[in-house]
Amino acid sequence: MPSEPARQAAPAPSGAAAARPPLLRMQGVDKVFNGDVVALKGMSLDVREGDFISLLGPSGCGKSTALRLLAGLSHPSRGRIAWDGGQEEGDLGVVFQEPTLMPWATVAQNIWLPLRLRGKSYAAVKDEVLEALRLVGLEKFQTAYPRELSGGMKMRVSIARALVTRPRLVLMDEPFAALDEITRFRLNDDLLALRDKIGCTVVFVTHSVFESVFLSDRIVVMAARPGRVIRELAVDAPYPRTDAFRTSAEYAAYCRDASDALHAAMGDAA
Amino acid sequence: MTLAERDESAASPPTIDADERARRRARRLERVGKWVLPVLVMALALLAWDRIVVWNDIPHYTLPGPGLVFRTLIEDWAILFDALLVTLQITLLALLVAVLGGVGLAVLFTQSRWMEMSFYPYAVILQVTPVVAIAPLIFIYVDSRIAGLLICAWLVAFFPVLSNTTLGLNSADHNLRDLFRIYGATRWQRLRFLQLPSALPYFLGGLRIAGGLSLIGAVVAEYVAGTGGIGSGLAFRILEAGYRLNIPRMFAALILIAATGVLIFAALSLLSHLMLRKWHESAMTRER
């Protein structure tokens, strides 16, 4: 197993990424549970407008904890997390590992939820709901109930719900981990196409090297016990990325880099 | 079954092999048997009852035959039907109050941990104390007979509604809870759009139990209340008929009570099915 120094300096992000305006900044964040379980230690992360960042690491490395902190669902024990210019209503969309749909509501009603919680009637936001459905290719299923949909379709509904407020930042917590590989590839392609269309920033948690390389322009590799960032990799391949990228030598090289970093992370923890 | 699969199966012609034929036959038998068998058992039991009474010359003040019971049911219909209406009225009112009280308390409990910690133990105590033991006290302090009966029936019926609804309100999907937090849902929105729908299947389960219990509560309370005259229910008619050794009428009233219980259960099951059939697993018919 190749062992790299644990705290190797992150390579400088590519010029294009560095020039983007900042969106959200995590500085020296620790998260401690029960007084002594250190889930996250000294994590700093600059999320810039338009980034697609993957948090890649073995289980227990704190990547989901980091995501919950970014979502505001829990608060740092030390350090700070701040939105540049403040967070406004609807700036944030979240997709969980499960589709997390309300089984008693139709597809359209599920997507309406974020707007409904802001007091918007369905009539007032119908166009936005239908547009979100069109984005994920499910416009025919607006009156279906979640139980009538396949796993991949449910996940699309979940993504449409996250996008309906036109968020600046979308957080995704291993959204495709429970799907079969064929469906996962389709959804990876569709996710990139979607982002191309609406231009949101994404922070994506995954434990798949291939997924992280295909999707992101920055990969943050994390290690466990205590959860921390050990490397940041830039993936400079241009978007849009298609199947051709998936079979290119460039892709393979990036995968090897990310895989080495991940091995180092796991070796480090053991 | 997903929509995509459904399209597919509609397009291809049906292939029916031996397995499928056997499955279909089994299904058909089950559909018919579900209704025919209980009716058959009932008919046999009635026949046996009748024969036992006739062959052994059992006098009707000991055990009336089914024919006599049926005749009594028709002859005494005016008295029995009035009594049935009274019992039914108490039962349904008690069920209504049990639903309002049970759901109301459950909502209060989930909104405030303090409330739950303070009062839940007393709800349990009320539930485990037999209603026959409390009823005499209630009739001492409550002047109105109807109100007394109602309180007794409510005491028996409200707990399943309370405990099931509380469980349901607390079992909303935790990721959905997080989602509601992220979108800044108010307490009321969370209750209205997340917790109440999550609790619906649990509530309906509790309601079916409470329907039967409120009938039991009403009947038991009537036994304790005891005073007769106008406005007395089926339980009192049974007591009264017993004093007069009018056994056929006792049986007739008993049949009415049982039928009422079955009817309430069936009605609540239907309600439950109608409310859940679109989305809940319990109301789905399995395809294979």
Comparing CA positions, the residue from B218, B209, B216 lying closest to residue B265 is B209
Contact pairs from chain A to chain B, CB under 8 Å? 61
Strands A201-206 and A228-234 come out as unpaired
Residue B233 inside a domain? The answer is: yes
Q: What is the pLDDT of residue B284?
A: 65
- Domain of residue B23: give its range: 3-55
Nearest CA in chain B to A150: B2
B182 and B110 in a common domain = yes
User: Same structural domain for residues B43 and B88?
Assistant: no
Q: B-contacting residues of A 44-73, CB under 8 Å?
A: 71-73
* Under 8 Å between Cβ of A102 and B197: yes
Q: Are residues B27 and B92 in the same domain?
A: no
B167 at A interface, C-beta within 8 A: no
B240/A84 Cα distance (integer angstroms):
82
* Per-residue confidence (pLDDT) for residue B231, from 0 to 100: 63
B282 Cβ under 8 Å from any chain A Cβ: no
pLDDT tens across the length of chain A (270 residues): 344 443 333 444 444 555 678 899 999 999 999 888 899 999 999 999 999 999 999 888 889 999 999 999 999 999 999 998 888 888 899 999 999 999 999 999 999 999 999 999 999 999 999 999 999 999 999 999 999 999 999 999 999 999 999 999 999 999 999 899 999 999 999 999 899 888 889 999 998 999 999 999 999 999 988 889 989 999 998 888 888 898 899 999 999 999 999 888 887 544
Contacts of B193 in chain A (CB under 8 A): 102, 113, 116-117
Q: Are strands A218-223 and A78-83 parallel, antiparallel or unpaired?
A: unpaired
> Are B118 and B29 in a shared domain?
no
Q: Judge if B245 and B265 occupy the same domain.
A: yes
Kindly report whether the peptide bond that precedes residue A240 is cis, defined as omega within 30 degrees of 0: yes
Distance from CA of A263 to the nearest CA of B (A): 31
Residue B60 lies in a domain: no
Q: ipTM of the predicted structure?
A: 0.88
Kindly report the nearest CA distance between residue B22 and chain A, in angstroms: 28
**Contact residues, chain B, for A143 at CB < 8 Å:** none
Q: Residue B205 above 90 pLDDT?
A: yes
Instruction: Determine contact: A102 vs chain B, CB below 8 A.
Output: yes
Residues 187-206 of B with CB under 8 A from A: 189, 193-194, 197, 200
Give the rounded percent of residues in chain B with a pLDDT score beyond 70: 92
Counting beta carbons within 10 angstroms of the beta carbon of residue A244, is it exposed (0 to 12), middle (13 to 18) or buried (19 or more)?
Answer: exposed
Q: Which long-range contacts (CB under 8 A, 24 or more apart) does B166-169 make?
A: B166/B106, B166/B109, B166/B110, B166/B116, B167/B199, B167/B202, B168/B106, B168/B195, B168/B198, B168/B199, B168/B200, B168/B201, B168/B202, B168/B203, B169/B106, B169/B107, B169/B109, B169/B110, B169/B195, B169/B196, B169/B198, B169/B199
Query: How far apart are alpha carbons B51 and B58 in whole angstroms?
Result: 10
**CA–CA separation, A225 and A223 (whole Å):** 7
Average pLDDT over all residues of chain B: 88
Chain A contact for B266 (CB, 8 A cutoff)? no
Contacts of B173 in chain A (CB under 8 A): 100
Q: Are residues B118 and B39 in the same domain?
A: no
Residues B197 and B256 in one domain: yes
What angle in degrees, to the nearest 10, is found between the helix axes of A181-198 and A151-163?
Answer: 20
Q: State whether B9 and B85 are in the same domain.
A: no
- pLDDT of B36 over the 50 cut: yes
Q: Residues B96-119: what's their mean pLDDT?
A: 93
- Helix, coil or strand: residue A47: strand
Q: Is residue B103 predicted with pLDDT exceeding 70?
A: yes
CB-based contact (8 Å) between A94 and chain B?
A: yes
Q: Is B168 inside a domain boundary? A: yes
- Whether residue B151 sits in one domain with residue B22: no
Pairing verdict, β A201-206 and A78-83: unpaired
Name the DSSP class of A90. T
pLDDT band of B10, cuts 50, 70, 90? low
Burial class (CB in 10 A: 0-12, 13-18, 19+), B215: buried
Instruction: State whether A73 and B3 contact (CB < 8 Å).
Output: no
Looking at the 3D structure of chain B, how many domains does it have?
2
Report the SS3 class of residue B186.
coil
The reply to whether B253 and B190 lie within a common domain is: yes
Interface mutation target, options A67, A94, A95, A102, chain B, most CBs of B under 10 Å: A102
Q: Please name the residues between 220 and 259 in chain B that touch chain A, using a CB distance below 8 Å.
A: none
In a domain, B61, yes or no: no
Query: What CATH number corresponds to the domain at position B129?
Result: 1.10.3720.10
Q: Which among B144, B272, B119, B253 has a CA at the least distance from the CA of B210?
A: B272
A113 with B193: Cβ contact below 8 A:
yes
Q: What does the pLDDT read at residue B246? A: 92
Q: Phi, psi at residue A263, to the nearest 5°?
A: -60, -45
The total number of residues written for chain A in this structure: 270
Q: Which of B178, B185, B278 sits opposite A117 (nearest CB)?
A: B185
Contact B211, B265 (CB under 8 A): yes
Per-residue pLDDT at A5: 40
Nearest to A222 by CA among A22, A20, A31: A31
Give yes or no: residues B82 and B137 share one domain.
yes
Q: Say whether both B230 and B266 belong to one domain.
A: yes
Residues of B in contact with A89 (CB under 8 A): 184
- Secondary structure (3-state) at B173: coil
> What residue spans define the domains of chain A?
1-91+170-184+193-270, 101-166
Residue B162 has pLDDT above 70, yes or no: yes
pLDDT value, residue A8: 39
Band (B270; pLDDT cuts 50, 70, 90): very high
Does any CB of chain A come closer than 8 Å to the CB of residue B274? no
The CATH number of the domain covering residues in A1-91+170-184+193-270:
3.40.50.300
Radius of gyration, CA atoms only, chain A = 19
* A148: nearest CB among B2, B173, B183: B2
Residue B266 has pLDDT above 50, yes or no: yes
| Residue B146 in domain | yes
Say how many C-beta atoms besides its own lie within 10 A of residue A156's C-beta. Answer: 25
